[in-house]
Amino acid sequence: MKIKQEEIRKILCVKPRGIGDIILSTIVLENLRTAFPKAEIHYLTEEFAKRAVENNTFVSKILTFKKDDLVFKTINKVRREKYNLVLDLYSNPKTAQITFLSGAKYRAGFEKRGRRYAYNILGKSGSTGKHAAEDNLVLLNILEIPINSKKIIYATTKEEKLFADNFLKDKIKRNEFRLIGIIPSGGWESKRCDASKLIEICNEIQKSIKTKFIILWGPGDEKDAKEIFEGLKPNPLIAPSTSFGELSGLIEKCDLIVANDSGPMHVAAALGIPTIGIFGPTNPENHRPFSSNSDFVIKSDLHCIICNKLVCPYKHECMLELDPKEFATKAKKLLGFV
């Protein structure tokens, strides 16, 4: 279905949760701006995840809701905006209801059982067979919107940059060392590389690269961050307790990031920082860092690899059997040593 440019004055992109998933969905934004240069582009997310699209030059307004809010409260908030086009990039039962009752003339979503009623423009979920970021482009293809950009977008604020500068001041001689961020975060227990293995990986990297490591952590990472800090010699830097934006500011100062499949991993890729993603239960072909200067490591020969289980039913072999030398080789390549 081709939409007339002059009909579209306000667009709503719906992606409520998963900070990493929201960042990947920003792949649509530059294309929407090119196709509809005079339209406002808004985002609907859950309150906790709005930082994923804050400070984004393509997004003029963010609508939020909380997980336990009554759906009609959110629907009323959406209807008041009088959108012409809604792109439901999530397409779960709740967002389907919101889209159906949004009042928009054009309602695009993914073809999922029990949700077809909500949309008058349908795309097949995951139909690109490529990266999860590119799956968001399916709806643009159905709408015959040209795909001129495949950039994902995340931006730090001046205040977040200043926070990072102040924290790192006098802590590292940048002309002597490469600053490498280690991020133990992971939304699933099975995604989290064991702290003992992360220490091994760091030890191997610093054999061939003059490195200062910085441990970047968030809520729930305290135990792993402490273990890495105490176990890694010479002592690394460790970030203080930060907001997500301040953590992003520190990520932006790194020369390289080593991270589990997580929101911060996608932040690093969106900021253009060379990134090595650590994978086990999830498929790196679909969820790797989405940038040309990034890579991933996975123990691909395990019988249980890419199990998609939240908790490992075995002994976490996908993480504990990773080869630290593979990380060192890829780090040298990404940093331009080979």
Q: Mean pLDDT, to the nearest integer, of 211-227?
A: 96
* Residue 247, phi then psi, degrees to nearest 5: -60, -40
Residue 127 has pLDDT above 60, yes or no: no
Q: How confident is the model at residue 172 (pLDDT cuts 50, 70, 90)?
A: confident
Mean pLDDT score of the chain: 95
Integer Cα distance of 197 and 195 in angstroms: 5
Contact call for residues 264 and 176 (beta carbons, < 8 A): no
In order of start, what are the domains of the chain with their CATH numbers? 5-142 (3.40.50.2000), 158-334 (3.40.50.2000)
Integer Cα distance of 159 and 230 in angstroms: 30
- In terms of Cα–Cα distance, which of 73, 18, 77, 72 is closest to 42? 77
Q: H helices of the chain, where?
A: 19-25, 29-35, 71-79, 93-100, 132-135, 138-142, 158-168, 195-208, 222-231, 244-252, 263-270, 284-287, 317-320, 324-334
Residue 151 has pLDDT above 90, yes or no: yes
Q: Mean pLDDT, to the nearest integer, of 144-172?
A: 95
DSSP classification of residue 241: S
- In terms of Cα–Cα distance, which of 16, 63, 51, 45 is closest to 249? 51
Integer Cα distance of 118 and 95 in angstroms: 9
Q: What pTM value is reported for the model?
A: 0.94
